[in-house]
Amino acid sequence: YKGAEYVVDFLPKTKLEIVVSDLLVDQAIEAIVRAAKTGKIGDGKIFVTNVERVVRIRTGEENDEAL
Show the domains of the chain with their CATH numbers. Answer: 22-66 (3.30.70.120)
CA atoms within a 13 Å half-sphere pointing along the CA-CB vector of 7:
2
Quote the pTM value.
0.73
User: What is the pLDDT tens value at each position of the chain, 67 positions in all?
Assistant: 577 887 888 888 899 999 999 999 999 999 999 999 999 999 999 999 999 999 999 999 999 999 8
DSSP states of 10-31:
PPP---------GGGHHHHHHH
